[in-house]
Amino acid sequence: MNKENLLLYFIMGSNNTSQPPSQVLKKAINGGITCFQFREKGSGALKGKEKETLARELQSICCKHKIPFIVNDDTELAISLHADGIHVGQDDESIQELKKKCPSSMIIGVSAKTIEEAEEAERQGADYIGTGPMFMTTTKEDAELPIGPEGIWALRKQGIQLPIVGIGGINETNAVEVIEAGADGVSFISAISQADDPEKAASTLKDRLT
Ligand SMILES: Cc1ncc(COP(=O)(O)OP(=O)(O)O)c(N)n1
Ligand SMILES: Cc1nc(C(=O)O)sc1CCOP(=O)(O)O
Ligand SMILES: [Mg+2]
């Protein structure tokens, strides 16, 4: 994957916003996001056909604007939609399994915060790692304690070269710290999905980082 695409990585599912998700995504794209992950998860998340319909709608918006469309967790959905990529965590499907099932062009993102996890992701051929939580977050129901941007410093210091995107509690006031620690990008849900004006929220984040 082109690591420039990780700079402003927006993640959202239908339960992360009170506005229509398609409107939020369009505004976020107008504001300058560079990548999108469909994460339909947690309380009230859509399932089955409804989930697929929303995924297709958001994918077509991304496609029109040439924004990579990544699916969280759901490999079957990612494959059936010919998504640009899939993101998995340590408790999800292994990279080895994904490599067997997915087209070789599909971007594979993996959550990794320890040196062991990051080295394993590199060995297995992940395209990028997501490291977090950087800061306190209430968006992920089972989020762990924050490791701070120091967690990214530590991975870089120990020689991790894979593209890294920080995640968790990132907003316009702390995004720069994450990049300064060695990340190629920042990912965020609520900073945009909960904003009254998602376009302005995205463009403010972009201004802070460019
Ligand atoms: C870019 C990015 N980084 C990390 C995660 C977290 O993935 P995971 O640990 O599998 O947790 P869930 O998102 O599935 O709850 C992510 N989604 N994206
Ligand atoms: C999906 C997710 N994964 C995390 C991790 O630490 O792996 S934190 C998180 C939630 C990010 O939402 P917000 O930007 O609203 O804090
Ligand atoms: Mg997961």
Strands 107-111 and 35-38 come out as unpaired
* Rounded (10°) CA dihedral 33, 15, 62, 199: -40
Of 143, 144, 166, the closest CA to residue 153 belongs to 166
Query: Catalytic residue at 208?
Result: no
**What CA–CA distance (Å, rounded) separates 135 from 146?**
5
Of 201, 184, 77, the closest CA to residue 130 belongs to 184
Ordered by where they begin, the domains of the chain are 3-109+171-209 (3.20.20.70)
Task: Report percent pLDDT > 70 for the chain.
Answer: 100
Q: Is 41 in the pocket of ligand 2 (CB under 6 A)?
A: no
Q: What is the atom index within ligand 2 of the atom nearest the CA of 193?
A: 15
Amino acid identity, residue 48?
Answer: G
Q: Is 89 in the pocket of ligand 1 (CB under 6 A)?
A: yes
Which protein residues have a CB closer than 5 Å to ligand 3 (ion)?
A: 73, 89, 92
Q: What is the pLDDT of residues 156-192, one digit of tens each?
A: 999 999 999 999 999 999 999 999 999 999 999 999 9
pLDDT at 58: 98
**What CA–CA distance (Å, rounded) separates 198 from 155?**
32
Q: What is the pLDDT of residues 79-106, one digit of tens each?
A: 999 999 999 999 999 999 999 999 999 9
Of the residues 3, 26, 99, 140, only one is catalytic, namely 140
